[in-house]
Amino acid sequence: MDIYQTRINVFNAANQSCSETRTYEIALNNTVETLELLVSSIESFIKEAGVDRKLLVGIGVSMPGLVDSRKGVNRTYLQFDGPSLKDVLEDRIKLPVFIENDAKAIALSVWRDGVAKGKKDVLVLFLDWGIGLGMILDGKLYRGASGFAGEFSHIPIVENGELCICGKLGCLQTLGAGTALVKKAKEGLKEGKSSLLAKEELGTLSLHAIVDAALRGDQFAINLFAEIGKNLGKGISILIQLFNPEQIVIGGKMAEVGQYLTMPIQQAINTYSMSQISGRVTIELSRFGKDIGLNGALAVVMSEVFDYMQKHHH
């Protein structure tokens, strides 16, 4: 799930997709209507995909926000008094449900089946509308005391910066997230900067359109990514100093521009990080493309089921 859309698919135990991915327009918030919409979308997907319910081992939900996966609650979205989101979904759909923060789910997926396989200390950045961070430390997904570890987007990067959605000023979110990229693009276009994006409707300018323009060689879009990449690199330098990772993996919509983002990130790391620590870090793209979120949700179910089977095998 992202803040605007939910994509659903069904996979077998060999991680192979068994159906077409379907996209549902669900804007995340805290209303009961949205929860109902999610339940009915899952139900209609199961029906349309023609899957035998008895064969489903569980549902993995990968979503943005402050997710406590042990308690099955999201403290940002779909938060209600009473039972947890996990309990509500299990009660309605009659299947085990596993909920995880999107960046942590993606980190799990990249580490289990992707470019970070076999690595012990990896930071996985999910760069979409927001900035997510999943950390594999010493060969395990690191969740922290309440499950909220990795809220990297809300570290302050500049004094007296812009107001962030979290209520603080100058967070990395306001300088390096997809929302910031779109905002900067709109400002530039309003000033009359020449770009392939000039023909786009400003009100509905999307992250996708800016990524697309950069990939088509649009200098205005490429410059925006250079600026965003520099800000992200500054933040990532702090992470490198703290966690000394061997690899940093970048995924999500913004990562689709490839080197237009990784090069400015690398330059900023060279500027702001101690070379003895950052010298051995490799920056890689996740290579999961647009299915990255689904891969994350799948990895959550697989690791939970795997853990359960290991515990009960004896």
Q: pLDDT confidence of 314, banded at 50, 70, 90? A: low
Q: What is the pLDDT of residues 208-250, one digit of tens each?
A: 999 999 999 999 999 999 999 999 999 999 999 999 999 999 9
Centre a 10 Å sphere on the Cβ of residue 7 and count the other Cβ atoms it contains. 17
DSSP string, 259-272: HHHHHHHHHHHHHH
Return the residue matching tokens 């159906």.
19
User: Which candidate, 40, 41, 34, 32, places its Cα nearest to that of 8?
Assistant: 41
Judging by DSSP bridges, how do beta strands 73-74 and 131-137 pair with one another?
Answer: unpaired
Q: What is the pLDDT of residues 23-57, one digit of tens each?
A: 999 999 999 999 999 999 999 999 999 989 999 99
Contact 94, 80 (CB under 8 A): no
Class of domain 5-101+291-313: alpha beta
Q: What is the pLDDT of residues 104-149, one digit of tens each?
A: 999 999 999 899 999 999 999 999 989 999 999 999 999 999 889 9
Centre a 10 Å sphere on the Cβ of residue 145 and count the other Cβ atoms it contains. 6
Centre a 10 Å sphere on the Cβ of residue 222 and count the other Cβ atoms it contains. 17
The more confident residue out of 245 and 277 is 245
Comparing 5-101+291-313 with 115-287, is the CATH topology the same?
yes
pTM above the 0.85 mark? yes
What is the pLDDT averaged over residues 177-201? 95
Domain boundaries, the chain: 5-101+291-313, 115-287
Return the residue matching tokens 């000023």.
169
**pLDDT score at 103:** 94
Distances (CA, A) of 111 to 11, 117, 306: 18, 5, 15
Please give the CATH topology (third level) of the domain spanning 115-287: Nucleotidyltransferase; domain 5 (3.30.420)
